[in-house]
A and B are shown apart, each in its own frame.
Chain A
């Protein structure tokens, strides 16, 4: 069964600095996708970025980039130039292709951006 691990319960970053949120995963399936979501205090889930296991390049979406190291089974989220509005919970998730579209989430990391 697939498993997602986020080992950082909480992180602090100074405004305008970059921060890396860790995510490791475990699956024996060669075809899978990795997602990052943001959950602000208001509670909604906001999709940030996606990385496919066969994608040749690391995904980027504006200030978000994904540091995908397939051999290490890690998919860390990098947020550049942090803003106060980035303070939120961040979840890593994995979908194994062909596994009936099952999707599992990590426990999350609470990011606090300091002014």
Chain B
């Protein structure tokens, strides 16, 4: 039972490069989320998808795009990476209501 799987776990990019972070969940959850965690800043919501076919902006969506490929998969794309996007990225999934989110192990992304 894998839960939420994020790939890759680590990545180093040069400024201006693009990349896609992948996330997949096997719990049949409707909702999926992408957060970034900077030192001392807690988790900030980038985008979320309440259900398959929908996506919405969170607190810090600029510089990112997302795709809810199907119910299992929710990807995050950086079109032109900037040093300010250096962070740890977490994907999560959940049902609505009182059900907690389940998190992946995170992707540590460094942009030089």
User: Which listed residue, B41, B54, B59, B90, touches A104 by the CB 8 Å rule?
Assistant: B59
Verify B105–A44 contact, CB threshold 8 A: yes
Contacts A45-B90, A47-B101; A105 near B48 (Cβ below 8 A):
no
Binds A, one of B15-23, B61-69, B72-80, B91-99: B91-99
Contacts A50-B98, A97-B97, A104-B59; A43 near B45 (Cβ below 8 A):
no
Contacts A43-B105, A44-B103, A45-B103; A100 near B56 (Cβ below 8 A):
yes
* Nearest chain A residue, comparing its CB with the CB of B29: A101
CA distance A95 to B96 in the complex (A): 9
Verify A103–B33 contact, CB threshold 8 A: yes
Verify A103–B50 contact, CB threshold 8 A: no
CA distance A35 to B101 in the complex (A): 9
Tell me, yes or no, whether A106 is within 8 Å of chain B by CB: yes
* Nearest chain A residue, comparing its CB with the CB of B92: A45
Tell me, yes or no, whether B42 is within 8 Å of chain A by CB: yes
CA distance A84 to B10 in the complex (A): 29
Residues of A within 8 A of B59 (CB): 104
- Please count how many residues in chain B sit with their CB below 8 Å of the partner chain's CB atoms: 29
Verify B45–A101 contact, CB threshold 8 A: no
CA distance A52 to B99 in the complex (A): 10
Tell me, yes or no, whether B25 is within 8 Å of chain A by CB: no
Contacts A101-B50, A104-B45; A43 near B96 (Cβ below 8 A):
no
Tell me, yes or no, whether A40 is within 8 Å of chain B by CB: no
User: Which listed residue, A35, A52, A93, A100, touches B50 by the CB 8 Å rule?
Assistant: A100
Binding site for A on B (CB under 8 A): 30-31, 33, 35, 40-45, 48, 50, 54, 56, 58-59, 88, 90, 92, 94, 96-98, 100-103, 105-106
Binding site for B on A (CB under 8 A): 6, 9, 33, 35, 37, 43-45, 47, 50, 52, 91, 93, 95, 97, 100-108
8 contacts between A and B (CB under 8 A): A6-B42, A45-B101, A101-B31, A104-B45, A105-B35, A105-B44, A105-B45, A106-B42
